[in-house]
Amino acid sequence: MAFTVQSDRKYAASHEWARPEGDLIVVGISDYAQHELGDVVYVDLPDPGEHFGQNEVFGASESVKAVADLNMPAGGEVVEINNALVDHPETVNADPYGEGWMIKIRPDNPADLDELMDADAYQQFINEL
Amino acid sequence: MGVQQYNHSSNLPVFHSSILPIFQPSNESDNAMSSYIPNTDADRAAMLAAVGVKSIDELFRVVPAAHRFPALNLPPPLSEPEALRELDRLQAMNAGLHDRCCFLGAGAYRHFIPAVVDFVISRAEFYTAYTPYQPEVSQGTLQAHFEYQSMMAALTGMEVAVVSHYDGGTALAEAVLMAAHAGREPRRQALISPTVHPQYREVARTYLEGTDVEIIGDELPHDRMLALGEMLDPDTACVVVQNPDFLGRLYTPAEMQALADRAHAVGALFIVSAYPISLGLLAPPGSYGADIAVGEGQPLGNPLSFGGPYLGYFTTRMEHVRRSPGRLVGQTADVDGKRGLVITLSTREQHIRREKATSNICSNQALNALAAAAYLAALGKNGLRRVAELCYHKAHYAAELIGKLPGYEVLPGPFFNEFAVRCPRPVAETNTALLARGIVGGYDLGADYPALAGHMLFCVTELNTREDIEALATALGEIGQ
């Protein structure tokens, strides 16, 4: 089965994506991740103002039969969360790269993203899973 | 479901034909492959290799030889009528309550159980059903659980109830554990009142062993519970109180609300353990700031039965539902829009969340919870209030009579249906003398509260008649002389 990978962003091995937007980074999970989880029923997000290091757990997404941690693709402060996911967690399944975004962070060090995979590398990565 | 399921008689052959051969010397076990255990000889060899031993004999070599196959010294087998006769003989040695009057409570309470409760829980559909993972074939059990949750939430004034925990002590321990993880940063201190049931405090300490959470506060004197409010700090996860407390005393809703407010001011949760029958009459924990209300559900339709199986009830506010431990049934609609019930929010539970779950509870005392639901439904709001009123008034009548006896002193203060009394003679001696008169006396408080040595905790319920109570007072008067 083919999963969408978008080339305007970077990917973590734990299947989060990170897309720079001005000074900020928008974070969500990949099409592959939403498919593996199945129907997402709840997304547990941090409060704006919280700070996490790179790869630290900032929340969790729950599907009907699994719970997956959400990891920071870059260290930084959470400046905005996608409140729409509280009432409509299924948006993560329907539009993982768009309306299903989870948090926006102000990175401590934008170069953290250099450690992530680009679209081609991530495509290769999930092909081999 | 709890104990009943695991003891189901159809499981017995497992013990006879398959478990035992494993413990036999290996040359025999090779021939004793069981139809119940799916391990093949090859599986066993692989497992032995993985742990680095050559044989099952070697695996058990750490057990001293004398204890490996001890002589059990069992009597010869009995026929069925012989076995029944033997069981009758043993049973007759029990001191039952059908021909004695009982003034013992202290956590387990004797109340009348309407016949309809046993009728409902004895139905085979309920009696044998296990965890209803398959909602399409389990609507009856799920509805019973849903009704139980709804009634417990209404009774405690809370917003959500999980199906049930093992008993009052484990429900309280789970509440403390939940409070410690209620925020994003775990908190390390739980303040527990000295007049929370001593065994519940012990269970909580056992649960928290090996965690970072420390229990303090119960070293306070038994009459200084409200001083817990001065011990709060930003690392306090919760304040845990019991109302009516272990000594039977009542705190006013205003006193409770004030303590709740102080807990909330430092971000701690306020946990209340409450005797559910008392809530037929008294303000519920939800009305005075409780974030979690727990307690022993046995008084609701479950017999004393040697101390178990009981059930713990656990209720909380919706904002904490995702952290709450235990099974939860929710209402939804099926594809045709019809009402349906399912186990919901299972992702909180250990079988899905694994090591990140905050609780190990993955089960439910289903049959006991069903008994509680049937009891509450049978009594209704007015019936439960009437039972609570009877308990209250009869207990106060008993306290009045005992308080007039020379040498006896009732501890002052408002109470529900239990009260502490200082006795002129040692409590054990008084109880022995009462038992000789066919009366089960009260609980000896001295072991748990050294300051209350010589004090007995009496409990009176609707099942104690006026004659019982007057006989108790007369007997105490004679014993005290």
pLDDT 10s digits, A33-61? 999 999 999 999 999 999 999 999 999 99
Position B460 pLDDT exceeds 80: yes
Q: Find the residue in B nearest to A61 (Cα).
A: B347
> Are the beta carbons of B271 and B291 closer than 8 angstroms?
yes
Dist CA B166 CA B280 (whole Å):
23
For testing the chain B interface, which of A40, A45, A61, A62 should be mutated: the one with the most B CBs within 10 Å? A62
Copy the structure tokens of residue B202: 């012990």
**A57 vs B: CB within 8 A:** no
**A62 vs B: CB within 8 A:** yes
Residues of A in contact with B347 (CB under 8 A): 41-42, 62-67
Residue A64, pLDDT score: 79
Q: Are B347 and A44 in contact (CB < 8 Å)?
A: no
Position B12 pLDDT exceeds 50: no
How confident is residue B47, by pLDDT bands cut at 50, 70 and 90?
very high
Residue B15, pLDDT score: 35
Residue B118, pLDDT score: 96
Distance from CA of B352 to the nearest CA of A (A): 6
Residues of B in contact with A65 (CB under 8 A): 347, 352
Q: Are A63 and B347 in contact (CB < 8 Å)?
A: yes
| Angle at alpha carbon of residue A61, lines to A57 and A67, rounded to 5° | 90
Among candidates A46, A50, A67 on the partner chain, residue whose Cβ is nearest the Cβ of B353: A67
Indicate if the alpha-carbon torsion angle B299, B304, B307, B309 is positive or negative.
negative
Position B227 pLDDT exceeds 80: yes
Please state whether beta strands A67-71 and A57-63 pair in parallel, antiparallel, or not at all (unpaired).
antiparallel
Q: Are A65 and B352 in contact (CB < 8 Å)?
A: yes
Dist CA B368 CA B121 (whole Å):
8
Q: Which residues contact B458 (CB under 8 A, 6 or more apart)?
A: B103, B105, B395, B398, B399, B402, B418, B419, B420, B421, B441, B442
Residue B34, pLDDT score: 63
Domain B115-375 falls under CATH 3.40.640.10: yes
Mean of pLDDT over chain B:
89
Q: Chains A and B: how many Cβ contacts under 8 Å?
A: 20
Copy the structure tokens of residue B8: 């189901």
- How far is C-alpha B372 from the chain's CA centre? 13
Residues of B in contact with A67 (CB under 8 A): 347, 352-353, 356
For chain B, what are the domain ranges? 3-68, 101-111+382-480, 115-375
Residues of B in contact with A63 (CB under 8 A): 347
Topology classification of domain A11-117: OB fold (Dihydrolipoamide Acetyltransferase, E2P) (2.40.50)
What size, in residues, is chain B?
A: 481
Dist CA B11 CA B13 (whole Å):
6
| Angle at alpha carbon of residue B233, lines to B227 and B234, rounded to 5° | 150
For testing the chain A interface, which of B344, B346, B347 should be mutated: the one with the most A CBs within 10 Å? B347
Dist CA B367 CA B377 (whole Å):
15
Q: Are B322 and A44 in contact (CB < 8 Å)?
A: yes
SS3 content of chain A, % helix, strand, coil (to 5): 25, 35, 40
Strand partners, B312: B165, B296
Residue B3, pLDDT score: 32
Distance from CA of A12 to the nearest CA of B (A): 22
Distance from CA of A80 to the nearest CA of B (A): 17
Residues of B in contact with A69 (CB under 8 A): 356
Dist CA B77 CA B451 (whole Å):
52
Question: Of B380, B463, B387, whose CA–CA distance to B155 is shortest?
Answer: B380
Distance from CA of A34 to the nearest CA of B (A): 16
Distance from CA of A121 to the nearest CA of B (A): 30
Residue B124, pLDDT score: 86
Give the residue carrying structure tokens 């017999």.
B303
Dist CA B471 CA B402 (whole Å):
11
What is the identity of the amino acid at B402? I
Topology classification of domain B101-111+382-480: Aspartate Aminotransferase, domain 1 (3.90.1150)
For chain A, what are the domain ranges? 11-117
What is the Cα gyration radius of chain A?
13
Extended strands (E) in A6-90: 10-11, 16-21, 24-29, 40-44, 51-52, 57-63, 67-71, 76-81
Residue B364, pLDDT score: 81
How confident is residue B256, by pLDDT bands cut at 50, 70 and 90?
very high
DSSP state of B17: I
Please state whether beta strands B439-440 and B101-102 pair in parallel, antiparallel, or not at all (unpaired).
parallel
Q: Are A62 and B347 in contact (CB < 8 Å)?
A: yes
Residue B33, pLDDT score: 53
Dist CA B320 CA B182 (whole Å):
7
Summarize pLDDT for B58-105 with one digit per residue, the tens: 998 889 988 888 888 898 999 999 999 999 999 999 878 888 899 999
Among candidates A44, A46, A66 on the partner chain, residue whose Cβ is nearest the Cβ of B352: A66
DSSP state of B306: G
Among candidates A46, A50, A67 on the partner chain, residue whose Cβ is nearest the Cβ of B347: A67
Residues of A in contact with B353 (CB under 8 A): 67
* Mean pLDDT score, B111-119: 97
Position A72 pLDDT exceeds 70: yes
- Provide the whole-model pTM: 0.83
Q: Are B353 and A65 in contact (CB < 8 Å)?
A: no
Strand partners, A18: A10, A27
Distance from CA of A51 to the nearest CA of B (A): 12
Mean of pLDDT over chain A:
94
Position B10 pLDDT exceeds 60: no
Highest mean pLDDT among A1-5, A123-127, B128-132: A123-127
Q: Which residues contact B345 (CB under 8 A, 6 or more apart)?
A: B321, B322, B328, B330
B314: left (phi over 0), alpha (psi -120 to 50) or beta: beta
**B68 vs A: CB within 8 A:** no
Q: Which helix (H) or strand (E) holds B34?
A: none
How confident is residue B29, by pLDDT bands cut at 50, 70 and 90?
very low
Summarize pLDDT for B461-479 with one digit per residue, the tens: 999 999 999 999 999 999 9
Residue B130, pLDDT score: 66
State what percent of residues in chain B have pLDDT above 70: 92
Distance from CA of A99 to the nearest CA of B (A): 24
Summarize pLDDT for B127-152 with one digit per residue, the tens: 876 667 788 888 999 999 999 999 99
**B318 vs A: CB within 8 A:** no
Q: Give the N- to C-terminal CA distance of chain B in Å, as an integer.
A: 51
Dist CA B148 CA B154 (whole Å):
10
Residue B346, pLDDT score: 78
Distance from CA of A66 to the nearest CA of B (A): 6
